Amino acid sequence: MAESIRVENVTKEFTLRYHRTFKQVTVALARGRQISDTFPAVDDVSFTVSQGESIGLMGLNGSGKSTLLKMINGVMRPDHGTVRTRGRIAGLIATGAGFHPQLSGKENIMLNAAILGMSENEIARKYDDIVDFAEIPTKFLQTEVGHYSSGQSARLGFAVAIHVDSEIFLADEVLAVGDKPFKKKCLERMEQVRDSGRTLFYVSHAGGSVKRMCNRVLILEQGRLIFDGDVKEGIKVLKYDDERPEDEEHFDSDEELGADI
């Protein structure tokens, strides 16, 4: 089966700065204090994903999940190593990502869809379906997105992304906000994406939903890949297997389905 994603020895470092102003930096240097430090958000990670696989990416807050996803999406470049993907990538890697706060909902739909690779004709053809899925009242579509709630932004962003014809679908933090009925509808649509043969990369803290959505799980810990394999075994590694049984069956409950990093 063809490879969809290949990540080889990928490392991404960030810098922590302990002082903000020039005066603070000068005083710290004069006293021999450290003014900054670097740390690997993602540390020498390697794996491959075949076309059609459904991958759950899990780990505690700060483990590097969103950083890794952003490198797969092309938003960030690794400092070391390589990330290769095959085909068009769609998805939502952060609530409201790619939206311009001073543009209306309608304008942002068209802009975001174009950024994700839709043609003008394709946008026109799918516009009504996007609006219907997002369940945003018509009057709000003429309002600046900067006035939207986080839930409205998430609805609109997910609605655009899910209507893009892609080979890879990334989902990170898409369901951390919003009401239960919309979360359920999003998860049902993601199941359709998975069953269509597209590659699904799904970040979540919810073991129940990962069990239902994915056939393989990757676990990060302090930037390093510590597990790659069976979903149930991975959840045991994270000690998420003590979730209530009803959480696994009814994964549209009040559990947070997104990620923080």
- Could you tell me the two tokens for 249? 């069956």
Q: Low-confidence residues of the chain, pLDDT below 70?
A: 1, 16-20, 25, 27-29, 34-37, 94-98, 173-178, 240-261
Number of Cβ within 10 Å of residue 193's Cβ equals: 21
pLDDT at 243: 53
Number of Cβ within 10 Å of residue 27's Cβ equals: 13
Number of Cβ within 10 Å of residue 256's Cβ equals: 13
pLDDT at 2: 86
pLDDT at 132: 93
- pTM, to two decimals: 0.77
pLDDT at 175: 60
pLDDT at 245: 46
What is the Cα–Cα distance from 3 to 53, expressed in whole angstroms? 10
pLDDT at 21: 76
Q: pLDDT tens for residues 34-60? A: 665 677 899 999 999 999 999 999 998
What is the Cα–Cα distance from 201 to 57, expressed in whole angstroms? 7
List Cα–Cα distances, 82 to 16, 33, 87, 126, 177, in angstroms.
24, 35, 16, 34, 32
Q: CATH topology for 1-27+35-85+203-249?
A: Rossmann fold (3.40.50)
List Cα–Cα distances, 105 to 2, 15, 36, 203, in angstroms.
38, 35, 40, 26
- Could you tell me the two tokens for 207? 């073991």
pLDDT at 249: 43
pLDDT at 217: 95
